[in-house]
């Protein structure tokens, strides 16, 4: 087996589950590229880099994949964790735009 590090792209890696997954992958020896809609606001994660990616925007997805493959030559693992949600009582919560919901969390 090659000693070359595997490349992982983790969407929504700036917080929560995505950040925990990114940390675990760094610990497992992956080169991790985390994504966030605004990577400049993501907290630093030792062993990982961050790029901008909005999973609801096809052009943003294309740019992110191109950037990773240009720099690393491939993506070995994709963790598609990014999503949106609303907190609060259901009757008071505003519904997300249907296209955002269906693109990011409701369908595969």
Convert the pLDDT of each residue in 6-42 to its tens digit: 999 999 998 899 999 999 999 999 999 999 988 888 7
Q: Quickly tell me which residue has 């880099």 as its tokens.
A: 49
pLDDT of residue 38: 85
Residue-wise pLDDT for 68-89, tens only, equals: 999 999 999 999 998 766 666 6
pLDDT of residue 96: 59
The answer regarding whether domain 7-106 maps to CATH 3.40.50.720 reads yes
Claim: this prediction has a pTM higher than 0.85? no
Nearest alpha-carbon partner for 68 in 26, 23, 28, 33: 33
Handedness of CA 88, 52, 47, 27 (dihedral sign): positive
**Do 31 and 8 touch, CB atoms closer than 8 A?**
yes
pLDDT at 60 over 50: yes
What are the boundaries of each domain within the chain?
Answer: 7-106
The Cα 102–Cα 1 span in angstroms is 39
The residues, ordered by sequence, that sit 6+ positions from 78 with a Cβ below 8 Å of its Cβ are 8, 9, 11
Higher pLDDT among residues 91 and 33, named by residue = 33
Q: What's the pLDDT band for 100 if we cut at 50, 70, 90?
A: low
Element (H, E) at 31: strand 31-36
């Amino acid at each position: 087996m090659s000693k070359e590090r595997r490349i992982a792209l983790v969407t929504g890696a700036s917080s929560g589950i995505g950040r925990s997954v990114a940390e675990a992958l760094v610990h497992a020896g992956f080169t991790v590229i985390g994504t966030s809609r605004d990577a400049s606001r993501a907290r630093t994660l030792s062993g990982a880099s961050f790029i901008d990616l909005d999973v609801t925007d096809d052009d943003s997805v294309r740019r992110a994949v191109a950037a990773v493959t240009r720099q690393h030559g491939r993506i070995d693992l994709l963790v598609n964790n990014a999503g949106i949600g609303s907190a609060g009582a259901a009757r008071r919560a505003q519904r997300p735009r249907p296209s955002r919901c269906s693109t990011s969390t409701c369908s595969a």
